[in-house]
Each structure stands twice: as structure tokens, then as C-alpha cells.
Amino acid sequence: MQSTDDSQPAILAPAGNRASFLAALAAGADAIYCGLKVMSARMEAKNFSIEELHQLVQMAHGRGVKVYVAFNTLLKPDELEMAGRLIDDLERHVHPDALIVQDLGVVALAGQAGFSGEIHLSTLANVSFPKALGFVAKKLLVNRVVIPRELSIDEIKTMAGGCPKNLGLETFIHGALCYSVSGRCYWSSYMGGKSGLRGRCVQPCRRHYRQGEQVGRAFSCQDFSVDVLVKILRQVKKVVAWKIEGRKKGPHYVYYTVSAYRMLRDLNTDAKMKRNAQELLMQSLGREATHYRFLPQRVQKPLQTGRQTASGLFMGKVQGPLKNPWVVVRQPLYPGDVLRIGYEDEPGHAICRVTRTVPKKGRFPLKLGTKKAPRPGIPVFLTDRREKALESMMAEVEAGITPEHPLPASGFTVVLPQRIEPSGRPFDVRVTRKPSRRSKKETAGIWLSETAIADIGKSAANLWIWLPPVIWPNDETKIAEQLAQCLKNGVRWFVLNAPWQMALFNRPDGLQLWAGPFCNASNALCLQMFREMGMHGAFVSPELGKGDITTLCSQSPLPLGIVISGHWPLCISRILADNMKLRVPFDSPRGEQAWVDQHGSDYWVYPNWQLDIMEKRAMLEDSGIRMFAHLEEPVPRSVMMKNRPGLWNWKIGLK
């Protein structure tokens, strides 16, 4: 059974389907997080209907297990009504213990629907420095914040030290790693409209890339695993939940990881149990794991460009003739097991389901039907399995579930904020890394940095200062000092690239504070939340298409801005592969080119073509946009910028 000791961190299990939900219960998880079939940041998981969640949550609550619903997607303007009805349905029929959100519009909807559970801010919201915690607790009445995976144990302790009494922290302890900082990846969206912020990422970071003579998976990460080091994490009392990533994983993974971390939490002084727990993690069918940045004195880079980072347990290599290939397996196979042959982005990739028991070192024929047989030497991985013992435990749990039955639909109606009429003349801001000359028609903008502040001089009063998209715990004091110097120099205009950056201004009166494009504003209720926080304007999310932008303009309670041209990053990361060179172009398998530059302690990845919707300017002005930002970056001499359309999702829309 799950832990009943409130002083212990809860083990939070993922569930992307019914089988994984049952496996989490069988393993003794303290809480389970799952998503609906819409409005989830893991849309590739099967997820749940309201009716199915109704019965599963009832059963979980009967066993003392909490259930959190991940509602952590960006909402487009035309999705507010549907999202509101879903939250109302959850409140009336499901009674989950919390909603996990990234879009502040969802917070507003939860308030309108009278949602009685907790609100947890997703890691996609990028609450990454201590002062931000007090701000969200006060302004949003949030109960918990899921902090970034990139934090070390020292940084987690720093965050805990700044955490108010009425707020808890949740941290990831196991699962997949993204190359990018959560909430700061636009790679998939920029290449075709499928946004990671909406759970539809196509994972371009997992592909091969070439830089000069080097070819490898320069951005494909190993998995993250704290494993035995949770004994250190347990000392941080403000961390109330240990989160296991994996809503796209099967029940085997869920059961093994939950069981392993229960051992490591509850029996951490037993050496034999530690070994058993580590063995369970090795058999959980994930990728090869790393501690990543958890130990600051021993950082482990999760990027091994010459190695594969696909998930699954290696079972052997393809042998025999092309017509009748086989694999000699390193572990027993059971009916229902799933094998992956090769890698998804390479020739010969296939999926094979096991129909009979095969002993260790036994030969298993790879019958792939009409698919072309894989060549000898291609690796074979076990990616999912259903042991009889686990199936029996899941069946025992499921026996207590009442049958599904239709539930009455919601009649909820969203109340939109009052729109303000745009006023004032439209103006342009050219944003650079260093102060530069500009035309009389343009206002200057500059990214906040120590170097930039030293160069501002007498032009400070006429500048828009842009704050970085990510502020790490150890950077908070430095950034606050830089802002204080800006204010001393007479700066009064600021663009904040996370809403919580308002916490860095002790006296915002008399200042113009705008929510920047990295705040990912995509609906009117989110903009209303920004207004209530004290923002004077906001940039629309650069991911939006034409229809969503014009609709948002027609509903906005704030003056709006947009990034109309310039160098928009594909992503921002805290790591760089050892053999990846800065400011040197690299190529994708599809011929796209990009480069990596470093700003502060972070790495920004840029494509070699610019975002450019300048031809739409007249329409945008008519719609009500008033600030037009142009982002300039120093382009390396070796990078050839392409003259290709930079409309992003303007025509195709955001998926």
C-alpha cells in the first residue's frame, strides 16, 4: 500500500492509459497524474475520457491514492469554451485532487468553474528562481510548483529556502530528458506547427545532425535517474512529491519505477534493497540513465553523440539470412512483449510482438510480414512487456472498478474579460545584444546582461530592457542587481519573459512592464491574468497562426505586441555536447541548417532563416497590435542565411 506518512515525499506515478493507471495502483504509488484525451501536454499518450476517469479516480480514492489531471497545454482563443466545460465536468463528476497547468488561462477557468482541488504549476511554466515562488503563491494561489529538471540538489535547496509555507515543491526523479529547458522549446513547432507546449512534439532533437565531419545525435538525451541519490533529496522537506516521467510508457515501466523508488524511499538504509531497487530501474525498459546535473560537483552530460539514446532493453542483434532473420535474446521473452528492431529514424526499423515464451539465450524468429527484413547486425530492444504476475495484480485491482456509464454534459459558459480598444501609434523595437544605432522611427531594445548595462550610457531612458527567458536560482541576485542599475540609470520600460519575473521589481509603480513572447500568451484569459498581476501589455505567443492572432486581438484586455521579424531560437538549453562547436553551422537530415550560441550560462539554438511576417504588418496594425519587435542576433560568418519564408505557423496554424 501507499505511504501514509505525511512527512515523506509522495511518489507520483505517470499513467497514459488504463493499464498504466492500474500498474501504478498495484505498485503502491501515493499519487497518479494523467491527462484527458484533449488539453494535455502528452497528446501521444492514449489518455482518458471523463467517464473513464470518473471510475478510476473513485477507485484510487478508495485506496487512499490521489489523482492529478494534467491540463498543461496552451489554450488557443477558440478552445476556452471547451476547456471550461472539461474543467466543470472534472469538478462535477471526477473530483481530481489537482490540476497541473502551464497556461494561466487555465487558472482563470478553474476559478470560473469553481474547481475545488489544488492548482499545480507545471514545469512548462518555468518557475526557476526563488523569488518567483512567493509571487505565484501570492498572486495565483497556487498550491504546488513543479520545478525544472535542470536544477542541481544545491539549486533545489535554494528554491526550497525561498518557498513560502503555503506552497510545496515537486521535482522529477526519473524519466526522459528534453534537450531544451521546459517551456522554452519551439523546435517542433517552428518546423511544422506541432508544438511541444501543446503535447505534439515530433522530437527533432532525437535525430542525427552533422557538423563538419562529425555526425551524431548531438541533442538526444539519455534518461534522468536520481536512483540512490534520493536519500539526499529526501532531506529537502519542501519537496513534497517525487515525480516519475512517462505518460507514454507502458505498465511494466510504471510498476518497476514506482516499486524501485518506494524501496529507495522507505528502505534506504538496507543495502540489499538498494541493489534490488537499482535492478528494477535497469529492467524498466527506459533509456540508459544519468544523474544529469543533480550533483553539481559531478555533472553528468546526458549527451553522448556517438551512442544511441532510444528507450528499451537491449536484447541482441539481428542474425541469419534476410528471408528468415532471428535474434538470440539476452533475457527471457513472454507473450505480449514488444520488440523494436533498429531505430525509428533509420532503415530497417520495425516493431515485432512476441506470441510465445522464449528462454534466455533462446532464438526468436523475427517475422515481420510484408515489411522488408532488417539486415544482420541491427540491434533489437525490448520496449514493453506484460509479465503474468503484473497482469494478475492489475486484474485484481481492476476487479474493484464499477462499470462506465454516460455522464451528463456540462453547460458551463466562459466569461471573457472586457476588451480594451487599442490606442496610441504602433511602434517598432529593435532588440539587440548590445546598444546599436537605430533609425528615428525605431525604439531600441536590449537583452539584459552585465555587458549591456555597462554600454547603455545616456540612452537608458529610451530603452526597452528585455529580461532573459530563463533565470536560474544562482542568477537571481545578479539579475536583481542589474535591474536595480537599470532603474538607477533611468530605464522605465521592461519586457519580462516569464510572468514571475515581476517578483524582481520591488516598486513596479511608474514602470512599463510587458509580458514578453516567451510568456507564451495565447488566449484572453491568460492576458487578463497578466493584467491582474500588474502588466501593462503583452506579446502574443509567436507560435500562433493568423486566425488565432486576429481572434486574440479582438478579445484582448491589454495592449499587444508581436515579434514580427528576426532570429527566434529553436530552443534554449543548459547543456552542449562535448564535440558541438559554438557558432559553427550544423545540418539536419532534411537539409535544414542551424547554429548554437551561448548567452549567459545558456545555449541558444538558431535556424539559418528568420521569422518574418513583415508582409502582414498592415493587417496586424488594423487588428490592434501596437508593439512590433525585431530580434537581432550576431550571425556567425560561416552561417549562410537562407532567403526562405519565415511565416512560422501563420498559414498552417498551431497544432
The grid coordinates of residue 523 equal: 488566449
Same domain, 545 and 621: yes
List the Cα angle 642/645/648 in 5-degree steps: 115
**Order of strands across the sheet that contains 571-573:** 214-216, 209-211, 586-587, 593-599, 602-607, 571-573
Q: Is the pLDDT of residue 530 over 50?
A: yes
- The pLDDT assigned to 341 comes to 92
Q: Is the pLDDT of residue 560 over 90?
A: yes
Q: What pLDDT shows up at residue 1? A: 39
Q: What is the mean predicted confidence (pLDDT) over 361-379?
A: 86
**pLDDT bracket for residue 456 (50, 70, 90):** confident
CATH code (residue 240): 3.20.20.70
469 and 550, same domain (yes or no): yes
For residue 541, is it within any domain? Answer: yes
Q: Roughly how many angstroms between the first and final C-alpha of the chain, as a whole number?
A: 41
Averaged pLDDT of the chain:
92
The verdict on 249 and 376 lying in the same domain is no
Q: Which whole number is the average pLDDT over 340-344?
A: 87
Residue 481: CATH number of its domain: 3.20.20
Q: Which of 203, 204, 195, 201 is nearest to 522 (CA)?
A: 195
Kindly state the average pLDDT of the residues 102-128. 97
487 domain residue, yes or no: yes
Complete DSSP assignment for 406-429: --PPP-----PPPPPPP-S--EEE
244 and 334 housed in the same domain: no
Predicted local confidence at residue 458, as pLDDT: 59
Say what the pLDDT of residue 98 is.
Answer: 98
**pLDDT tier for residue 374 given thresholds of 50, 70 and 90:** confident
Residue 437's pLDDT band (cuts 50, 70, 90): low
Say how far apart CA 148 and CA 177 lie, in whole Å: 11
The C-alpha cell at 67 is: 489523482
Q: Are residues 40 and 155 in the same domain?
A: yes
pLDDT in tens, 178-189: 999 999 999 999
Q: What is the pLDDT of residue 270?
A: 83
Task: Give residue 445's pLDDT.
Answer: 94
User: Could you report the per-residue pLDDT of 377-392, keeping only the tens digit for each?
Assistant: 999 999 988 788 888 8
pLDDT score at 410: 82
Q: How far is CA 169 from CA 123, 162, 532, 635, in A?
A: 11, 11, 24, 40
Which own/partner pairs from 618-624 qualify as long-range (CB within 8 Å, at least 24 positions apart)? 619/550, 620/549, 620/553, 620/562, 620/564, 621/426, 623/549, 623/550, 623/553, 623/554, 624/421, 624/422, 624/553, 624/554, 624/556, 624/560
pLDDT of residue 4: 45
Residue in 228, 632, 321 with CA at minimum distance from that of residue 466: 632
pLDDT digits (tens, 9 = 90+) for 259-310: 999 999 998 778 899 999 999 999 999 888 999 999 999 999 999 777 677 7
Stronger pLDDT, 440 or 335, i.e. the higher one: 335
Q: CA–CA separation, 518 vs 540, rounded Å?
A: 9
Q: Please say if the pLDDT value at position 551 is more than 90.
A: yes
Question: pLDDT digits over 146-169, tens only?
Answer: 999 999 999 999 999 999 999 999
Query: Are residues 328 and 271 part of one domain?
Result: no
| Domain contains 114 | yes
The Cα–Cα gap between 322 and 344 comes to 20
pLDDT at 2 (0 to 100): 46
pLDDT of residue 5: 55
Residue 370: predicted pLDDT: 67
CA 395 to chain centre: 33
Question: Mean pLDDT over residues 529-551, rounded?
Answer: 97
Grid cell for residue 492: 522605465
**Cell for 608?**
539559418
If one compares 90 and 374, the residue with the highest pLDDT of the two is 90
Instruction: Express each pLDDT in 438-448 by its tens digit.
Output: 555 668 999 99
pLDDT of residue 369: 74
pLDDT above 80 for 44: no
Q: Residue 186: inside a domain, yes or no? A: no
For residue 360, tell me if it sits in a domain: yes
Q: What is the pLDDT of residue 149?
A: 96
CATH number where 347 lies: 2.40.30.10
What's the mean pLDDT in 507-532? Answer: 95
**Domain membership of residue 255 as a residue range:** 10-176+210-285
Are 533 and 445 in the same domain? yes
Neighbours of 494 (CB within 10 A): 25
Grid cell for residue 510: 511608474
98: which strand partners? 68, 118
Cell numbers placing 356: 510465445
End-of-domain residue from the set 384, 407, 436: 384
Q: How many CB atoms lie within 10 A of CB 312?
A: 18
Distance CA 10, CA 17 (A): 21
pLDDT at residue 457 in the model: 65
Is the pLDDT confidence value at 46 over 80? no
Interval 484-513 mean pLDDT? 93
160 part of a folded domain: yes
Q: Which residue has the higher pLDDT, 251 or 508?
A: 251
Q: Is position 246 within any domain?
A: yes
Domain count, the chain: 3
Q: How confident is the model over 53-68, as pLDDT tens digits?
A: 999 999 999 999 999 9
**pLDDT for 465 beyond 50:** yes
Residues 166 and 85 in one domain: yes
Question: For 320-332, what is the mean pLDDT?
Answer: 91
> Does residue 237 form part of some domain?
yes
- What's the whole-number mean pLDDT along residues 101-121? 97
Q: How far apart are CA 574 and CA 544, in angstroms?
A: 26
pTM over 0.75: yes
List, in sequence order, the alpha helices (H) in 310-382. Answer: none
82 and 134 inside one domain: yes
Region 239-253 average pLDDT: 95
Residues 459 and 605 in one domain: yes
pLDDT top residue among 649 and 399: 649
- Do 447 and 377 belong together in one domain? no
Question: Within this chain, do residues 145 and 24 fall inside the same structural domain, yes or no?
Answer: yes
